[in-house]
Each structure stands twice: as structure tokens, then as C-alpha cells.
Amino acid sequence: MNNIRSLDKDSGALVCDAGCILEQLDNHVNEFGLTMPIDLGAKGSCHIGGNISTNAGGIRFVRYGSLHGSVLGLEIVLPNGTIINNLSTLRKDSTGYDIKQLFIGAEGTLGIVTGVSILTAKKPSKLQKFLEESFSLEIVSNGVLAQDITQQNKLWMIRESIIESISKGNKVYKYDLSLPVSNLYDIVNDVNDRLEELLPGLTNKNGEIINQKEPTDVGYVKSVNGFGHIGDGNVHLNVVVSKYNQEIEELLEPYIFEWVQSLNGSISAEHGVGIVKPTVLKYSKEPEVLKLMKMIKDKLDPNAIMNPYKVLM
């Protein structure tokens, strides 16, 4: 399932199998002066079908928006084997319920995506001029422009290595929150303050005080940091610890989820719900909405064979 089925060079509509690797698709459309509307660290391994099932975002989101906008059509196999062929390449269509949207970000719980129609964009080419103008208008105060493709790849490698570097030799509690941009970094500072204030008082099984600055057998906090996606209102909050520890967890949850709920944010901007977060979906979705989701799931997958235990309890 890795065939490119068609590319409309006028509209930019690309139709391909779900098993195409994102990077290979990008390379293919680049040859026609086009670019995929999505790009992420996993590009060398992830499949377009997986991207769609996870509603993946990535570094081009701020420019091209979400897959809910750029996906034009899907081909889907329902749990009972019926093939739904909606590989439309139309930009506009106002003929009722937009069924494909249900499968974008469904994490495989409603059916299997086998084909994708997606709108690619014109590859941008006038960056130098744009930057000069932005500097002269004082919109941009500082920055760096890669001089060649090697430098460009090196710059992106710094960004794409963040996750790996945080994880090296550590354990990490990871959160991918959607928040108003004006509050985006407050959660990082608040969680940091909370742990600084409350952790020194924690005791381990032997009644010894846990000091976060000194390693103990119970585990301590190494750092609280946040990065990513300011343009999208999505922050990756990471609590880096030496060891997973229930006492630390109890300080993080439900505190973080309640914090997000108080600002009408989302408990998952990117990583999805999976098997870990069905119990905390309620912080982002009203009971009536959850009920509707369950109704749709029951109707489409009455025998609950599609990714059981994921997304919905």
C-alpha cells in the first residue's frame, strides 16, 4: 500500500495509498514545485495513513493548518469489510455530513484508512526577500537563515533532536497541551514552582526527605521544560525525572489536566488519546460530546474490534 495514485499539478491534489512514507511523498511532489502540507520528526518512517489517524501536526501546521483542512478525501475499510470510497479531490463540497472528518484523528477506532487524497501546497521560494522585508519593518528582531541545504538540515536536526536529547538517560512525563498562546509557557513555570515547593517535603518509604536536587533511590526531578509549536498554541511540557515515581505523578495529575480545563484547553494537541488518556478525556470534552462519540463508535464498530481500549473507555 505504498503507491502514489495521482497528482493533479494544477490543484495540487495528491491521491496515494495509506502506506506511503511521508518523506517519500514530499520528495515526489517537490519535483513538481509542490510541498506536503505536513512535516514532522517521524517523516522518514511514518505513513500518511498513520498521520491521518493521529491527526498529526508538525512544523508546517502554522502555515498550512490541520489535516482536517488539507485532507480532501479518504478511502476507508469499515470493520465489516465495506469499502467507503471518498477519495474526492474537490476543494469545495457542501453536500452534507463530512464523513471523512470522523476518521481523521480516530486512532484507528472506527475503520482502516487505505487511501488518501490530500491537498499539497506550492513550495515557497522567496524567503530571502520576505525576511529582508520583515527585518526592515521590525517584525522580526533576530534570526538565522541557512546558507545551503547542509546548514538547513543541521538547523532542523537541532529542532528534531529535542525529544531524543531530553530522554537520554532519563525518564520523562510528557504532556502535549493546547492552550491560549498568551498562557502557553505559564504551565511550565507553574509546574516547576509546584514541584519546587512541594517536592522537598515528600518522604520516601523510609521516612527520609526527598530533595529534588539530590539523587535518591526513589527518584527526583531533573528539570521541567517546554518547547514547540508556539504558532499553533501547542506546548510540549516535559517533566524530566531520574525514575518514574508515584508521588511525583500525584503532584502532576490531575493538577495539569485541571489547569488546562480551566482555560478551555486540550489535554492532547498532538499525541492523541490512545490507551493512556481515555480516563482524562473528560477534561477536554463535555459529557454530551463524549456520549455522541460513543454513539458513533457503537454504530460503526458494533463488535468493538477496531483498536479496542483506545480513545473511549
Ligand X SMILES: Cc1cc2nc3c(=O)[nH]c(=O)nc-3n(C[C@H](O)[C@H](O)[C@H](O)COP(=O)(O)OP(=O)(O)OC[C@H]3O[C@@H](n4cnc5c(N)ncnc54)[C@H](O)[C@@H]3O)c2cc1C
Place of cell 490507551: 275
Q: Contacts with ligand NAG: how many residues (CB under 6 A)?
A: 23
What CA–CA distance (Å, rounded) separates 241 from 191? 13
* Shortest distance, position 175 Cβ to ligand X, whole Å: 14
Beta-sheet strands, E only, within 127-253: 171-178, 221-227, 234-241
Which of the listed partners (ligand NAG, ligand X, none) does 99 bind, with a CB threshold of 5 to 8 Å by partner kind?
ligand NAG
* Shortest distance, position 218 Cβ to ligand X, whole Å: 30
Identify any residues that bridge with 16 across adjacent strands, giving them in sequence order. Answer: 4, 116
Interface with ligand NAG, residue 37, by CB under 6 A: no
Cβ 220 vs Cβ 242: under 8 Å: yes
Interface with ligand X by CB under 6 A: which residues?
18, 40-42, 46-47, 49-51, 53-54, 56-58, 107-108, 112-113, 163, 270, 307
The dihedrals phi and psi of 304, each to the nearest 5 degrees, come to: 50, 50
Which of the listed partners (ligand X, ligand NAG, none) does 290 bind, with a CB threshold of 5 to 8 Å by partner kind?
none
Strand order in the sheet with 71-77: 4-7, 13-17, 112-119, 71-77, 83-86
Tell me the pairing of strands 234-241 and 171-178.
antiparallel
Among 49, 105, 226, 272, binds ligand NAG (CB under 6 A): 49
Residue nearest to ligand X (CB): 50
Among 4, 62, 77, 84, binds ligand NAG (CB under 6 A): 84
What CA–CA distance (Å, rounded) separates 176 from 254? 15
Which of the listed partners (ligand X, ligand NAG, none) does 296 bind, with a CB threshold of 5 to 8 Å by partner kind?
none
Identify any residues that bridge with 119 across adjacent strands, giving them in sequence order. Answer: 13
Q: 117 or 245: whose CB is closer to ligand NAG?
A: 117
Under the rule (CB under 6 A), what is the footprint of ligand NAG? 21-22, 38-40, 42-43, 46-51, 56, 58, 78, 80, 82, 84, 86, 99, 263-264
